[in-house]
């Protein structure tokens, strides 16, 4: 990072830290308080158990909840008052590893931990047996998933996993970590420091922490996550409920209970706390030779997925032998392409979609895996009424013909409504049956 950019950053931030103070201790959550405001949620406790002060976040970028129970170094400003209580605003916070009384652990907490690209595992024995995925001490760091804020200040050129790109934001610090050393003043300097390592995997794969994963399988999991965020489902969450959301936000936590198996080796997959759930943080997964063979996001795993089940595109999930998403909040219609998986819908350990909000009619290949569904929000289905205008008429026939000829592509709901004879295909037989039904009426 050149001197020009660092000087700008120092000037912008200097005024915020004129009155700052530093403390080290354990972040504790206040269970009962007469304050009933944000000043009465957290406090800092010294290693000997001495109360230091109430603390609060100074900005939305700092979430104190993820540090509860952890030994930390904090930089705080002058005390601020809310309604009935005061607290020290935390301006910077980071995990501290130099406690005087570390605990004894049976094994190294980092044994078997697989961190994301650009991070390495650090074992922490302060107050517990923790494994933290922290930024590697290296020249290049993938900054693609780091949110430096919606500001126009040009931070420099950084590496996004595929190459060097210009990055703007509000500053180089994020969650107490200074990333300024991972930015360069010009493109040539960045490309020299960050060579393209993408050739280590096949062209249809992505490299994640030195392991190669099929890009199409990763994309399918990502689409399930995207559909969940896009559904905006109301689960009655409160701000303090860190397990409530779709997908479950706790899967982005360092304490994520999920894991993946890769070629027979199991890896705990702690979240990187970047604010959103990523494909390898979701549920329990098995991979063989870079292909997804099993994904379990059902009962007792609490992925809390919602929205529609994505259409399975050509080349996706070709090696899958276990697909379990029971008791989530999945809604809409099940795509016919799910039959391409060839799984046994009569074996709930192999294939299970029970306990969701999925709407009929259901593909014949999954009938035994549906069981109880909440269909309160499902519209009444009138097979053949493709445009959903309440009647089957010549307009529906025209739409069906356009699907058959390939002039238009039906969505999942339109496909189910157009498949008049329930054979899983759209062809001239559906046209004949639909025209016959119209003439009979």
Residue 179 has pLDDT above 90, yes or no: no
Residue-wise burial string across 287-306, b where 16 or more C-beta atoms lie within 10 A, e elsewhere: beebbbbbbbbbeebbbbbb
**pLDDT of 427 higher than 70:** yes
Measured between alpha carbons, how far is 115 from 111 in angstroms, rounded to an integer? 11
- Predicted local distance difference test score (pLDDT) of residue 156: 87
Name which of 5-19, 241-255, 366-380 the model is least confident about: 5-19
> What is residue 220's predicted lDDT score, i.e. its pLDDT?
96
pLDDT at 9: 40
Tell me which residue of 256, 314, 319, 246 sits closest to 283, measured CA to CA.
Answer: 256
Average pLDDT, the chain: 84
The pLDDT value recorded for residue 226 is 93
Which pLDDT value is given to residue 82? 87
Neighbours of 286 (CB within 10 A): 21
Q: Which residue has the tokens 């549920």?
A: 283
Confidence of residue 3 (pLDDT cuts 50, 70, 90): very low
Question: ∠ CA(56), CA(278), CA(120), 5° rounding?
Answer: 75
For 330-352, write each residue's pLDDT tens digit.
999 899 899 999 999 999 999 99
Q: What is the pLDDT of residues 344-390, one digit of tens each?
A: 999 999 999 999 999 988 888 998 899 889 988 886 667 788 877 77
Q: Is the pLDDT of residue 6 over 90?
A: no
pLDDT range class, residue 221, cuts 50, 70, 90: very high
Residue 12 has a pLDDT of 39
Label residue 238 exposed, middle or buried (CB < 10 Å: 0-12, 13-18, 19+): exposed
Cα 236 to Cα 128: distance, rounded to the nearest angstrom:
32
Instruction: Indicate whether 401 pLDDT > 50.
Output: yes
Provide the CA 142 distance to its chain's centre, in angstroms: 17
Among the ranges given (39-43, 77-81, 126-130, 185-189), the one the predictor scored with the smallest mean pLDDT: 185-189
In this model, does residue 252 exceed pLDDT 60? yes
pLDDT at 51: 92
pLDDT, residue 4, reads 44
Over range 146-172, report the average pLDDT: 84
Quick one: 389 exposed, middle or buried, by C-beta within 10 A (0-12, 13-18, 19+)? exposed
Nearest-angstrom CA–CA distance, 165 and 169: 13
| pTM of the entire predicted model | 0.51
């Amino acid at each position: 990072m050149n001197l020009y950019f660092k000087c700008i950053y120092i000037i912008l931030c200097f005024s915020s830290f004129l009155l700052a103070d530093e403390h080290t201790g354990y972040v504790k959550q206040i269970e009962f308080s007469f304050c009933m405001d944000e000043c009465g949620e957290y406090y800092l406790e010294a290693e000997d158990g001495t109360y230091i002060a109430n603390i609060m976040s100074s900005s939305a970028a700092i979430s104190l909840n993820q540090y509860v129970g952890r030994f930390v170094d904090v930089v705080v400003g002058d005390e601020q008052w809310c309604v009935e209580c005061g607290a020290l605003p935390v301006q910077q916070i980071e995990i501290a590893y130099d406690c005087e009384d570390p605990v004894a652990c049976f094994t190294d907490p980092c044994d078997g931990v697989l961190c994301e690209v650009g991070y390495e595992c650090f074992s922490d024995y302060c107050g517990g047996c923790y494994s933290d995925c922290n930024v590697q001490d290296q020249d290049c760091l993938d900054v693609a998933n780091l949110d430096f804020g919606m500001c126009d200040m040009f931070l420099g050129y950084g590496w996004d996993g595929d190459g060097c790109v210009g990055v703007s934001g509000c500053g180089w610090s994020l969650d107490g970590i200074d990333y300024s050393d991972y930015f360069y003043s010009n493109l040539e300097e960045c490309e020299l420091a960050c060579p393209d390592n993408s050739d280590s995997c096949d062209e249809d794969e992505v490299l994640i922490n030195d392991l190669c994963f099929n890009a199409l399988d990763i994309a399918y999991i990502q689409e399930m996550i995207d559909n969940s965020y896009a559904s905006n489902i109301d689960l009655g969450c409160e701000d303090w409920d860190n397990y409530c959301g779709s997908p479950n936000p706790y899967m982005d936590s360092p304490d994520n209970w999920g894991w993946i198996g890769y070629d027979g080796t199991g890896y705990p997959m702690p979240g990187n706390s970047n604010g959103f759930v990523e494909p390898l943080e979701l549920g329990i997964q098995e991979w063989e030779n870079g292909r997804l063979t099993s994904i379990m996001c059902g009962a007792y795993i609490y992925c809390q997925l919602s929205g529609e089940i994505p259409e399975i595109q050509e080349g996706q999930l070709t090696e899958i032998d276990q697909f379990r998403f029971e008791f989530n909040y999945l809604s809409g219609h099940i795509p016919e392409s799910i039959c391409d998986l060839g799984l046994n819908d009569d074996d709930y350990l192999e294939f299970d979609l029970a306990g969701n909000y999925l709407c009929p009619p259901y593909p014949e290949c999954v009938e035994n895996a549906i069981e109880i569904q909440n269909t309160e929000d499902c519209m009444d289905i009138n097979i053949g009424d493709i445009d959903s205008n309440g009647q089957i008429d010549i307009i529906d026939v025209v739409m069906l013909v356009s699907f058959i000829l390939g002039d238009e592509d039906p969505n999942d709901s339109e496909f189910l409504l157009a498949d008049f004879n329930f054979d899983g295909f759209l062809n001239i037989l559906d046209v004949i049956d639909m025209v016959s039904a119209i003439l009979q009426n």
